[in-house]
Amino acid sequence: MPDPSRDSITRDDVAHLAGLARIRLSDAELDRMVGELDEILGAVAQVQQAPIEGVEPMSHPMPLVNVTREDVVRPSLTPEQALAGAPAAEEQRFSVPRILSEE
């Protein structure tokens, strides 16, 4: 729903934006985007008119909780067990062929 209090977006505006974004649009796409972008700008204008006095800014509409576990040492493989199936190992690490030169 376009806002009559603001100027409507034009085909030239869409072509300019497409050029800035380096997006090639056909004539039909330009014509379609005029209406779509005008609808989007109308919706943004409508949201901007919402009463926000006294509303605390937030980064997410729901409370966020970081779900982590305690960092506790638990039984695991020994280095020898972990490397038992490796084709090559060196200094308790997997040994892999070099793919980059030292230059």
Tens of pLDDT, residue by residue over 89-103, are: 999 999 998 888 876
What is the H or E stretch that residue 40 is in?
Answer: helix 27-48
Mean pLDDT score across all residues of the chain: 89
Q: What pTM did the predictor assign? A: 0.47
Cβ–Cβ under 8 Å, residues 52 and 44: no
Cβ–Cβ under 8 Å, residues 25 and 15: yes
Query: For 18-56, how does the pLDDT look when each residue is reduced to its tens digit (9 = 90+)?
Result: 999 999 999 999 999 999 999 999 999 999 999 999 988
Instruction: Say what the pLDDT of residue 3 is.
Output: 47
CATH no., domain 11-48? 1.10.20
Among 1, 67, 89, smallest CA distance to 38 is for 1
> Per-residue confidence at 2, pLDDT binned at 50, 70, 90?
very low
Of the chain, the percentage scoring pLDDT greater than 90 comes to 67
Residue environment code for 35-58, b if the CB has 16+ CB neighbours within 10 A, otherwise e:
eebbeebbeeeeeeeeeeeeeeee
Cβ–Cβ under 8 Å, residues 46 and 3: yes
One-letter amino acid at 28 equals: A
